[in-house]
Amino acid sequence: MEYLCNNINVIHTSRIHNLVHIFLSDFILFTRQLNIFLAAPNQNSFVSLKMSCSSTKIPDVETNIHWLTGNRIFINGGLKPASIKIENGKISEVKEGPLSDKFENVLDAGELVVMPGLVDTHVHVNEPGRSEWEGFWTATQAAAAGGITTLVDMPLNSIPSTTTVENLDIKMKAATGKCHIDVGFWGGVMPDNENSLRPMVEKGVIGFKCFLIHSGIDDFPSVNEEQVDRALAELKGTGKILAFHAEVDCGGDEKWATDDPSVYRTFLQTRPSEMEFQAAEMINRMCRKHKDVKCHIVHLSTASSLPLIAKLKADGLPLTVETCPHYLTLNAEEIQNNRTEFKCCPPIREADNQSKLWEGIKSGLIDMIVSDHSPCTADLKQPGEKNFQQAWGGISSVQFGLPLIWTNMKKNGLQLHDLCRLMAEHPAKLAGFEKIKAKIAVGFDADFVLWNPDEEFEITENIILHKNKLTPYKGKTYSGRVHSTILRGKVIYNNGKFATPNGKFLLTEMKL
Ligand SMILES: [Zn+2]
């Protein structure tokens, strides 16, 4: 028998990168990641090896699995040996312990961690219209390789923007047959489209996004407080969210004229925390006026808004807040001149601010972590050539959210159940998918990510699946490698291989 073993940690003094075959009584362990005490192997190392290794067997992509079993399955808030029965893409039974009988189409995760598939509610797919920036095929493929089974596409950067039912139809047509995972859609609020909002709700968008400052895209203009007021009135009674790009213009721009645009600090001074804070104050006013309409702050970058957010939440108002891997893992101090791959809006701030964001995560003021995957073509960034004023703002990371956050969570004293909450449960709830996604329980979609939290890897260009490979994470090493992803019971990703796209559109249709 031959076993593919992904998770062996034995006493180690050296690492072997080549393929290693070890004969143990009657079977072969075959592995790339074997850490073993080779200099003087002894009985204990072999005992330990035997104890820690179990047989990971992942069927080929395209296989519809009937049972998933493993020693580390995330159920009821912890990792346990468990077996999960899958029928018609749904979980039909969950039982603790191994699978005793012989079944067909069994996936044995062995020692890999099995969690609900992640949900990313902030992805700019850019198709149609800017499909040279990204597209449904590549974005959903990268997401699947990162353990994401559901993403929600943002309404802007595509042409047209998703601001009417007709435009949503155009987008869905462009996405048809290209989605490796399930996909939902945000609608957009612009100054003149309030009559389109309720029809888009009926069609099934998860909610709406608006900008309080220039979006960077001329065909998606920002809204003022009065227009936000009208949009919230339109959304009353629909249960849908209004999400805010929470920055307002407060005059930072003159720094471009006086300071060096190749220096990151100049860019930071053009987008000060004050811009986010003033936007949070406006959201505070609107939230209190329209008490029943859910509001959501996307990509919070400054910790200075946290006390205001705390007050709104303490008063029971339905506000949720997200932040992104770049704000939690990168900091302003490390960004060199013209390293425009780090440019995004709001900006990556200082390390001190970052530790306060982590405190916000721990206290629950920040509800979720999503990617804000926002790629562009290389010519719009040209790191080292273009300066921070000239370059497009946006960071690509949809494929790597899990390892980025897991690696840094551990340093901040958070656990696996926090990861599930922040990157699966809460985003699913935001989108209105909480009854079908992000939980390993009977009746939920059989969406899983199988990964090894201890396995380190370097982000190199050849493993990046986004259409454009530029990312500030290139060359860095993280722990937590995704091995396989399951969507509604089907193996859609397995160690570099993909099934044909089988994702569904998740539309929360309703009659108003
Ligand atoms: Zn965004």
pLDDT for position 495: 96
Q: What average pLDDT does this structure show over 475-501?
A: 98
pLDDT > 70? residue 16: no
CA of 124 to the centre of ligand 1 (A): 6
Who's near 428: CB < 8 A, 6+ residues apart?
119, 150, 434, 437, 438
Q: What is the pLDDT of residue 55?
A: 85
Distance 153 CA to ligand 1 centre (A): 9
- Min mean pLDDT across 54-58, 195-199, 203-207, 355-359 is at 54-58
- C-beta separation of 150 from 433 below 8 A: yes
Does residue 17 surpass a pLDDT of 60? Answer: no
The C-alpha atoms of residue 229 and residue 235 are separated, in whole angstroms, by 10
pLDDT tens string 82-113:
999 999 999 999 999 999 878 999 999 999 99
396 CA to centre of ligand 1 in angstroms = 11
Gap between the Cα atoms of 205 and 185, Å rounded: 5
Domain residue extents for the chain:
2-45, 116-498
Q: How far is CA 22 from CA 8, 12, 19, in A?
A: 12, 15, 10
Q: Tell me the CA–centroid distance for residue 122 and ligand 1, in Å.
A: 6
- What is d(CA 337, CA 356) in angstroms, rounded to the nearest whole number? 26
CA 154 to ligand 1 centroid distance, Å: 7
Q: 54 falls in which pLDDT band (50, 70, 90)?
A: low
Is residue 1's pLDDT more than 90?
A: no
Q: What pLDDT is stored for residue 82 in this prediction? A: 98
Residue 123 CA to ligand 1 center (angstroms) comes to 7
Are 179 and 150 in contact, with CB atoms under 8 Å apart? no
Q: Ligand 1 center to residue 351 CA distance, Å?
A: 22
Summarize the confidence of residues 24-33 as an average pLDDT: 34
Q: From ligand 1's centre to the CA of 374, what distance in Å?
A: 6
Q: Residue 502 C-alpha to ligand 1 middle, in angstroms?
A: 25
Confidence (pLDDT) at 14: 35
Q: Ligand 1: distance of its center to the CA of 247 in Å?
A: 12
Span 109-126, mean pLDDT? Answer: 98
C-alpha 392 – ligand 1 centre gap (Å): 13
How many angstroms does the Cα of residue 276 sit away from the middle of ligand 1?
15
pLDDT higher than 70, residue 129: yes
Average pLDDT over residues 378-404: 94
Quote the ligand 1 centre to 11 CA distance (angstroms). Answer: 45
- What separation in angstroms does the CA of 305 have from each of 95, 213, 282, 288, 390? 44, 17, 12, 16, 28
- On the question of pLDDT at 15 being above 50, the answer is no
- Ligand 1 centroid to Cα of residue 201, in Å, is 21
User: Locate tokens 């990509």: which residue?
Assistant: 299
8 Å CB contact between 82 and 94: yes
Record the pTM: 0.90
Q: Which residues pair with 145 in a beta bridge?
A: none
- 296 CA → ligand 1 middle, Å: 13
Beta strands in 76-135 (DSSP E): 78-87, 90-96, 106-108, 113-116, 118-123
CA of 150 to the centre of ligand 1 (A): 16
Q: What percent of the chain has pLDDT over 70?
A: 89
Query: What pLDDT score was predicted for residue 258?
Result: 87
- pLDDT score, position 47: 35
Q: Which residues surround ligand 1, an ion (CB under 5 A)?
A: 372
Q: Among candidates 187, 214, 143, 41, which has minimal Cα distance to 467?
A: 143
Q: Tell me the CATH number of domain 116-498, given options 3.40.449.10, 3.20.20.140, 3.40.50.460, 3.40.1010.10.
A: 3.20.20.140
Q: Rounded to the nearest whole angstrom, what is the distance from the C-alpha of residue 312 to the centroid of ligand 1? A: 23
Q: How many Å lie between the centroid of ligand 1 and the Cα of residue 437?
A: 22
Q: How far is the CA of 389 from the centre of ligand 1 (A)?
A: 19
pLDDT tens column, 416-439: 999 999 999 999 999 999 999 999
**C-alpha 453 to ligand 1 mean position (Å):** 28
Q: Are 509 and 203 in contact (CB under 8 A)?
A: yes
C-alpha 494 – ligand 1 centre gap (Å):
29
Reply yes or no on whether the pLDDT at 210 is more than 50: yes
Q: What share of the chain has pLDDT > 90, as a percent?
A: 84
Instruction: Quote the ligand 1 centre to 394 CA distance (angstroms).
Output: 8
How remote is the CA of residue 376 from the centroid of ligand 1, in Å?
12
94: buried, middle or exposed (CB in 10 Å: 19+, 13-18, 0-12)?
A: middle
pLDDT of amino acid 305? 98
| pLDDT tens-digit readout, 136-195 | 999 999 999 999 999 999 999 999 999 999 999 999 999 999 999 999 999 999 998 999
